[in-house]
Amino acid sequence: MSEQVDILGGLVGRIVLADNLAVLGSLPDGSIDLVYIDPPFNTGKRQTLRRLRTVADPEGGDRTGFGGRRYRTIRLGSSSYVDVHDDYLDFLEPRLVEMRRVLRPSGSLYLHLDPREVHYAKVLCDAVFGRRCFLNEVIWAYDYGARTRRRWPAKHDDILVYVKDPELYWFDAEAVERIPYMAPGLVGPEKAARGKLPTDTWWQTIVPPGGVERTGYPTQKPVAVLRRVVSASCPVGGVVADFFAGSGTTGAAALELGRRFLLVDSNPEAVAVMRRRLGGAAGVEVVGG
């Protein structure tokens, strides 16, 4: 990793409550190794996660469980934000321009979207980064949740990967955790024991309700997905930035893997979640939350 301005001032991580475009404008050129963003998907809906707890209630309750036992549901609260942008590309473009500027020559951008907007965003990223700088479209596939019978149920997200310089970008495939072969008997015991490198299609369940990772924030992504991104595209000791940080999963993966992080979100609820999740770690600073 080349010598550059240390935007974290020696900290392990910083969590910032602010408009991401303002923070981006304050950062020096070439100061970040990896940017991962999971911006609003422009669904046109209010995204809400309601937190519930079920307790035994032999006197009545509102649910019946195994053996006829009765349970009562307690509402613990909810988190939400409005996912509406009149012109999504106008919203993204100045941020992508700034993200490209702050990336090191070896840096990469991972832009996490869904099929509604990803094709338009791909054209925009080609314009901002250059078509030669497109590296991958990663498909994150999962199998959880409701299923419509009026079309093929949507069970994947798209992650566009762009690099700052197609000759200099950092990518360490050997650092990525390997996965089992689907037919281990065909590759021999040595290869089967080692596992294979992931492809551009990643099978990984979402964070389930009641899962150990669950923070209570809507649209939370699994650490396993971010672990793969950070392992491959940021050197050890490098700086990972997430400018739509949400529940802070990018920071959790970076902390686990020995990378440093900058997390920015304009939603006070998001910063409160990140403070609880990451703020207690040594060397992590929370600004404005």
Residue 4 lies in a domain: no
Residues 59 and 200 in one domain: no
Q: Please report the beta strands in 101-143, taking only residues with DSSP state E, as ranges in sequence order.
A: 103-113, 134-141
The per-residue pLDDT for 212 is 87
Residues 78 and 210 in one domain: no
Residue 157 lies in a domain: yes
CATH number at residue 89: 3.40.50.150
Q: Running along the chain, 289 residues long, what does each successive block of 10 average in pLDDT?
A: 77 97 97 96 48 54 49 48 62 95 98 92 95 98 88 95 98 96 91 95 89 85 97 98 97 98 96 95 94
The per-residue pLDDT for 219 is 81
Residue 64, beta-bridge partner list = 70
Residues 66 and 137 in one domain: no
Coil, strand or helix at 8: coil
Residue 6 lies in a domain: no
The per-residue pLDDT for 50 is 44
Structural domains of the chain, count: 2
Residues 188 and 59 in one domain: no
**Residue 260, number of CB atoms within 10 A of its CB:** 24
> What does the pLDDT look like over 55-95, one tens digit per residue?
556 665 554 444 455 545 444 444 444 444 558 888 999 99
As a whole number of angstroms, the distance between CA 170 and CA 172 comes to 7
Residues 156 and 78 in one domain: no
Phi and psi at residue 251, in whole multiples of 5°? Answer: -65, -40
The per-residue pLDDT for 40 is 82
Please give the DSSP secondary-structure letter assigned to residue 173. G
Nearest alpha-carbon partner for 285 in 266, 260, 268: 260
Residues 263 and 175 in one domain: yes
Phi and psi at residue 257, in whole multiples of 5°? Answer: -100, 5
Residues 56 and 171 in one domain: no
Residue 104 lies in a domain: yes
The per-residue pLDDT for 265 is 96
Residues 36 and 65 in one domain: no
* Contact call for residues 233 and 171 (beta carbons, < 8 A): yes
Residues 137 and 60 in one domain: no
State the residue range of the domain holding 68: 49-82
